[in-house]
């Protein structure tokens, strides 16, 4: 029996900042952002958007197109938690009108947790092949203003329906794992922005890649030659390019620049325009790879490297299912990116600084999102969500 991804769909906020605007304000050559870190734009959430509205919007097209009666589990992966106790997934479950007989929870380990959620989903389906699991990764990446991380912000969510006999991707059972207690990036409960040791974090990322691949080999994983395409965690797209070069060196493969680009570039198309979306980042990359590869990927093996600071990393493999193209959402994804509203620097600052209430007052949010769900208010310490007419 094959277990894997039946459907994948992402969503991102409808405001977008061109990195040229940030470069101009900071007096930096825009090529440092466009080329040096490989980011052209970043999505910015409206005041009435959060990880719940992004997650529900990502999953909505999937819920509308599949029979949800066998859905038994909803797993939401995020590191932008909105509550220390209640899972963001419970709000999402309600907004989507999902079946009541469902286990719903939130998972956390920096950007890695969506991979853990996907693996858990595959295990559940392997035990009971008739059941479906909805995995949603959703995050809003925030760093301090004027910090080196500022150009690597962004936001987005991606939803995946996991089941038996998948239409898109079989997730193969062998994984290579690595964990190490490091302080490369973290966010204490009292902060709304992450703390990061940027250069160190890139070193730990690459070290973890090496270790995870080594473990994948020791666990009986496929040889390097059997992989046709690659998708790495993308805090910024240049990181994925560095990672692939690093991996090629490790497996002692020498490829032309064109061949390297062919293996990796399709996975970078969407993230270059969305920015970091933490847990969602690698899976938006996966959607990008499926949507943007010219070659028919039937039966091709994709190598995936998931990394979450702190840190936990995993190398695993997905096999593209014959006829997958019929089930892609390419036009919808592209339209989503094209229809965003470009913002200027003052608007970026207004969104960045929009207050997050901490008292129990009645805080109504302006209606700005064009998405199907909104956070209409925070009142008496309760988050109030509503469906829009979109």
Residues taking part in catalysis: 79, 111, 233
**DSSP category for residue 222:** P
Binds ligand HMG (CB under 6 A): choice among 60, 233, 329, 340? 233
Binding mask 201-230 for ligand HMG (x = CB under 6 A): xx--x-------------------------
348 binds ligand HMG (CB under 6 A): no
How many C-beta atoms lie closer than 10 Å to residue 246's C-beta? 16
Taking the complex as a whole, the smallest distance from the CB of residue 36 to ligand HMG amounts, in Å, to 2
Residue nearest to ligand HMG (CB): 36
Residues 58-117 contacting ligand HMG, CB under 6 A = 79, 110-111
Do residues 134 and 161 lie in contact, with contact meaning Cβ atoms separated by under 8 Å?
Answer: yes
H-run or E-run covering 95: helix 88-95
Give the span between the Cα atoms of 162 and 122, in whole angstroms.
7
Q: Cis peptide before 299, with omega less than 30 degrees from 0? A: no
* Residue 353 CB-half CA count within 13 A: 7
Q: How many residues bind ligand HMG (CB under 6 A)?
A: 29
Taking the complex as a whole, the smallest distance from the CB of residue 45 to ligand HMG amounts, in Å, to 17
- How far from 336 is each of 7, 27, 123, 215, 329, CA to CA, in Å? 17, 30, 32, 38, 11
Tokens of 258: 């064109």
**DSSP category for residue 275:** B
Tokens of 306: 């998931």
Taking the complex as a whole, the smallest distance from the CB of residue 183 to ligand HMG amounts, in Å, to 12
H-run or E-run covering 171: strand 169-179
15: nearest Cα among 379, 383, 385, 366 = 366
Residues 29-48 contacting ligand HMG, CB under 6 A = 29, 31-32, 35-37
**DSSP category for residue 321:** P
155: nearest Cα among 323, 250, 324, 16 = 16
Residues 139-198 contacting ligand HMG, CB under 6 A = 148-149, 152, 184-185, 196, 198
Taking the complex as a whole, the smallest distance from the CB of residue 294 to ligand HMG amounts, in Å, to 27
308 Cα distance to chain centroid: 11
Residue 8 vs 312, nearer CB to ligand HMG: 312
Residues 290-329 contacting ligand HMG, CB under 6 A = 307-309
Taking the complex as a whole, the smallest distance from the CB of residue 212 to ligand HMG amounts, in Å, to 13
Taking the complex as a whole, the smallest distance from the CB of residue 267 to ligand HMG amounts, in Å, to 15
Phi-psi domain of 323 (left: phi exceeds 0; alpha: psi -120 through 50; beta: other): left
Binds ligand HMG (CB under 6 A): choice among 10, 15, 178, 278? 278
Kindly list the residues in this chain that would bind ligand HMG in the complex (CB under 6 A). 29, 31-32, 35-37, 79, 110-111, 148-149, 152, 184-185, 196, 198-199, 201-202, 205, 233, 235-236, 239, 276, 278, 307-309
């Amino acid at each position: 029996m094959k277990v894997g991804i039946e459907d994948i769909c992402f969503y991102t906020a409808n405001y977008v900042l061109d990195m040229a605007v940030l470069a101009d304000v900071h007096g930096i050559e825009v090529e440092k952002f466009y080329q040096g870190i490989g980011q052209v734009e970043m999505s910015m959430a409206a005041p009435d958007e959060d990880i719940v509205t992004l997650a529900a919007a990502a999953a909505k097209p999937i819920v509308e197109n599949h029979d949800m009666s066998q859905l038994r589990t909803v797993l939401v992966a995020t590191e932008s938690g909105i509550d220390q106790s209640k899972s963001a997934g419970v709000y999402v479950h309600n907004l989507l009108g999902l079946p009541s007989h469902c286990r719903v929870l939130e998972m956390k380990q920096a950007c890695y947790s969506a991979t853990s959620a996907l693996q858990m989903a595959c295990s559940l389906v392997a035990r009971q092949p008739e059941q479906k699991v909805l995995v949603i990764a959703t995050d809003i990446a925030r760093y301090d203003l004027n910090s080196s991380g500022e150009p690597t912000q962004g936001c987005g969510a991606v939803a995946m329906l996991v089941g038996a006999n998948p239409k898109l991707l079989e997730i193969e059972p062998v994984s290579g794992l690595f964990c190490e207690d490091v302080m490369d990036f973290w966010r204490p409960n009292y902060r709304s922005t992450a703390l990061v040791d940027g250069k160190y974090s890139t070193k730990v990322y690459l070290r973890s890649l090496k270790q995870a691949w080594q473990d994948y080999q020791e666990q009986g994983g496929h040889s390097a030659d059997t992989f046709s395409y690659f998708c790495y965690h993308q805090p910024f797209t240049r990181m994925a390019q560095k990672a692939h070069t690093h991996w090629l060196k490790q497996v002692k493969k020498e490829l032309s620049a064109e061949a390297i680009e062919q293996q990796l570039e399709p996975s970078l198309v969407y993230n270059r325009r969305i920015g970091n979306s933490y847990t969602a980042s690698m899976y938006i990359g996966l959607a990008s790879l499926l949507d943007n590869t010219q070659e028919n990927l039937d039966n091709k093996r994709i190598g995936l490297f998931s990394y979450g600071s702190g840190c936990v990393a995993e190398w695993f493999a997905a096999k593209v299912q014959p006829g997958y193209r019929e089930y892609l959402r390419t036009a919808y994804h592209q339209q989503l990116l094209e229809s965003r509203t470009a913002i200027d620097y003052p608007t970026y600052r207004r969104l960045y600084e929009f207050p997050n209430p901490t008292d129990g007052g009645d805080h109504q949010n302006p209606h700005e999102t064009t998405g199907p769900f909104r956070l209409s208010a925070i009142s008496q310490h309760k988050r109030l969500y509503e469906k829009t007419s979109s």
